[in-house]
Amino acid sequence: MNNKKSPFTLHCDSSDCAARRGEVQTLHGTVQTPVFMPVGTQATVKSVTPENLKEMGAQIILGNTYHLFIRPGHELIRSFGGLHGFMNWDRPILTDSGGFQIFSLKELAKITEEGANFRSHLDGSKLFLSPEDAVQVQEALRSDIMMCLDTCIPFPATREETVQSTDLTSRWAKRCRQAQSDTGQLLFGIVQGGMFPELRQAHAEALIDIGFDGYAIGGLSVGEDKSMMQEMTDATIPHLPKDYSRYLMGVGTPEDLVEGVYRGVDMFDCVMPTRNARNGTLFTSTGKVVIKNARYRDDKEPLDPNCNCYTCRNYSRAYLRHLFQCREILSYHLNTIHNLHYYLTLMAGMREAIEKDRFSAFRNDFYGRLESE
């Protein structure tokens, strides 16, 4: 096992649940946890600027190895000093390995022991990504946190399929660790194991034996119901080391974030706030607002009277509805600012609640507000 010091510092635990407050030290600064990471797949969080992100309190964002490997290419980004210089973002960045994207394009991909053979979703050209390549690309991107290349398991999957895929992820994880250079970048392992608690426990232990800078819970939010996702999170968390970061990948709704923190998760990412913003579904302190609905046609109120984001300070629901109905670009911009601000403010509230040891009360208040709409 790798014995170097963990970049994660635990500040305090909740007395009546598993919620915890900490921080992760990276090359581009310290990230306060629990944290939500806006997704910037192609070196941009869609429809907002880095300055917008800073104004709303984003500490760290996520980029995607698969997409940046294909376009514009990691060597071009390397020539800018990495993603930070390329996209003008001076705070931490996490890059996922591309495993999930290859999984989602499975009709274009073939997984072997060596790595993933796949075709570009842009032009159909043949490409290959090995565990070593995934690390080398992320080192070129100069992300603060890199992810091991993993094999994402579909749902449902048999136990035999799950064992084979999880074992391959273990072998790839070892190769990723061996390929890592001394750049100061962190490398996280990804726990798989499908919907089998004992396989998740075994895989967590296998990754800990290899030794990583943090541990992610992968392969969830792939079609299983919420109770199953929570059950697998509960089955994995106790087997991850307490003094390392725990990252629940690709999750999720505001409720998912609250439940994840309640169970001891430190880090989250999801396209939901940005994608839903572009689809006209907005998150508020009392629940979702579907802004295209006719009831908002002449509504002079802000989207969320309890929100102090740029959008809510300046624009009415009627105007936001008008922009969305007209498919104006400004609609995507203003909606995304609000949704991300909501998510980031929710996380800040959870950090404060843990510090005051009142997270369970925070959780109850959160659900109470949703039920009162």
String of DSSP letters for 301-355 = SBS-TT--SHHHHH-BHHHHHHHHHTT-HHHHHHHHHHHHHHHHHHHHHHHHHHH
- The token pair at 105 is 């394009």
Two structure tokens written together for 137: 């690309």
Instruction: Name the active-site residue from 96, 213, 266, 304.
Output: 96
Give catalytic status of residue 16 as yes or no: no
Question: Which is catalytic among the residues 144, 213, 266, 269?
Answer: 269
Question: 237: helix, coil or strand?
Answer: helix
Q: What angle do CA 190, 196, 201 make, to 5 degrees?
A: 55
Catalytic annotation on 357?
no
- Residues 25-59: b if buried by 16+ CB within 10 A, e if exposed: ebbbeebbbbbbbbbbbebebbbbebebbeebebb
The distance of Cα 149 from the centroid of its chain, to the nearest Å, equals 15
Q: Which residue has the tokens 């053979």?
A: 117
**Which residues form the catalytic set?**
96, 269
